[in-house]
Chains A and B, each alone.
Chain A
Amino acid sequence: MRITLLPQRKEIDLPGRRRVADVLRHLGMLPGTVMVIRDDELVTEQDFLEPEDSVEIRSVISGGA
């Protein structure tokens, strides 16, 4: 699966079918600190991501301004 991280603007490829919770754990991200978006829809931690998916993982934490 192709993962785009925002705001870092970094792309990562992960093999296989994975639960969203596992992907976040693999990337060292805490639940509730990012939105996971696939085809303009949000996916929850319990959902599965398929090998052919392109997803955006967008941080929700802001530091100011």
Chain B
Amino acid sequence: MKCTRCREHAEVHLRQHNSAFCRRCYVTFFQRQVERAIHKERMFTVEEEVLVAVSGGKDSLALWDVLVTLGYRTTGLHLALGIGDYSLVSTQKTEQFAQTRDLTLISVPLAQEGPGLAISTVAASTNRKPCAACGTVKRHVFDRVAAERGFGVVATGHNLDDEAARLLGNVLHWQTDHLAKQSPVLQPTHEKFARKVKPLFRVSEYETAVYAFIRGIDYIVDECPNSVGATQLTYKDVLNRLEAAMPGSKLTFVQEFLRAGRPAFATAEARQPPETCQRCGMPSYGAVCSFCRLVAEVERKRQPLRRTGSA
């Protein structure tokens, strides 16, 4: 198979684009896809410094690589989640990536936050599923660090497969408030929120993995142990079966929702702007934000252990 651009030997075949690429042309193709998404959706400019949430996985490290290559000013933000060896390796890969490229990285070990918020601790201390608690903690810390350090933009490595799976879940359950907010760009609704952007939203997991591989990015291949049986994986499997039969389905699903579907939900679901959390001062849709409610739950569950230990 020959490269569509230069006719050299192709290593990558993208049925959804009816194209094949050699290594060099693929890198150009991928970077242009991301750049086009940034410009078309007005995610950020070269004048803004972007806080890039990096986990050590292929998507976030590929994103950081592309943004740096395209000339954007970036700082990485890594949360050490405290999920055993998985998190240790994730942190090691992220730090190595930053060091070899001389990039600035902020690392936040969740085990040292508040009463100790390693995800394994939170899951053991509360009745919440680990993934739900993980999402709440990550969103809060992203927002808090961005506010403390003056970043106006936070970029995450959510890709087309993530967005399509999320959209499928929201449609299956007709979660109209979520459908109203699903977008590759979320403008802040409070002065302490940063703009949230997903520059990889048009590229598939496969395309991102191929980019990371060709660029020699050493990412963690293992999956989060808490993701076994996750609903997102079921949705992704359904969508990949559809994509195999009808290439381009995932991109059409997401793009046409953004163009033709979301506007209807956004009109119906206009929400009051958030208040301010009484505990931490961050934006909240109640007197106490969801993160502080989770922290309070962890503190309550851990108190009896401390009293017993101090005899």
Question: Does A13 reach chain B (CB closer than 8 Å)?
Answer: no
Which residues of A approach B to under 8 Å, CB–CB? 6-7, 30-33, 35, 37, 41-47, 58, 60-65
Work out how many contacts link A and B, with CB atoms closer than 8 A.
83
Chain A residues near B58: list those with CB within 8 A: 60, 62
Known A-B contacts A43-B11, A61-B161, A62-B223; A35 and B230 likewise in contact (beta carbons under 8 Å): no
Q: CB-CB contacts of B129-164 with A at 8 A, as 1s and 0s?
A: 001001000000000000000000000000001000
Name B243's contact: one of A32, A37, A41, A64 (CB within 8 Å): A32
Most buried by B among A30, A44, A58, A62: A62
New A-B contacts (10) at CB < 8 Å, excluding given A7-B222, A63-B233: A7-B221, A32-B243, A35-B206, A37-B213, A44-B11, A46-B13, A47-B1, A60-B208, A63-B223, A64-B232
Known A-B contacts A33-B240, A46-B13, A58-B209; A64 and B1 likewise in contact (beta carbons under 8 Å): no
Docked Cα-Cα span, A63 to B236, in Å, equals: 9
Docked Cα-Cα span, A65 to B10, in Å, equals: 32
Known A-B contacts A63-B233, A64-B232; A44 and B10 likewise in contact (beta carbons under 8 Å): yes
Chain B residues near A61: list those with CB within 8 A: 161, 205, 233, 236, 240
Q: Are B57 and A65 in contact (CB under 8 A)?
A: yes
18 contacts between A and B (CB under 8 A): A7-B221, A30-B240, A37-B213, A42-B214, A44-B10, A44-B13, A45-B13, A58-B209, A58-B221, A60-B58, A60-B206, A61-B240, A62-B205, A63-B233, A64-B134, A64-B224, A65-B57, A65-B90
Name A33's contact: one of B1, B83, B206, B223 (CB within 8 Å): B206
Count residues of B near A (Cβ-Cβ below 8 Å).
41
Chain B residues near A60: list those with CB within 8 A: 58, 205-206, 208-209
Docked Cα-Cα span, A33 to B15, in Å, equals: 13
Chain B residues near A47: list those with CB within 8 A: 1
- Which residues of chain B from 1 to 30 have a CB within 8 Å of any chain A CB? 1, 10-13, 15, 20
Chain B residues near A64: list those with CB within 8 A: 131, 134, 224, 226-227, 230, 232
Docked Cα-Cα span, A39 to B243, in Å, equals: 28
Q: Are A65 and B81 in contact (CB under 8 A)?
A: yes
B138 to chain A, nearest CB (A): 9
Docked Cα-Cα span, A1 to B12, in Å, equals: 22
Q: Are A65 and B213 in contact (CB under 8 A)?
A: no
Chain A residues near B209: list those with CB within 8 A: 35, 58, 60
Chain A residues near B182: list those with CB within 8 A: none
Task: With CB as the reference atom, state the residue of chain B lying closest to A40.
Answer: B213
A35 to chain B, nearest CB (A): 6
Q: CB-CB contacts of B16-60 with A at 8 A, as 1s and 0s?
A: 000010000000000000000000000000000000000101110
A26 to chain B, nearest CB (A): 15
Docked Cα-Cα span, A64 to B161, in Å, equals: 12
Name B213's contact: one of A30, A35, A63 (CB within 8 Å): A35
Q: CB-CB contacts of B55-90 with A at 8 A, as 1s and 0s?
A: 101110000000000000000000001010010001
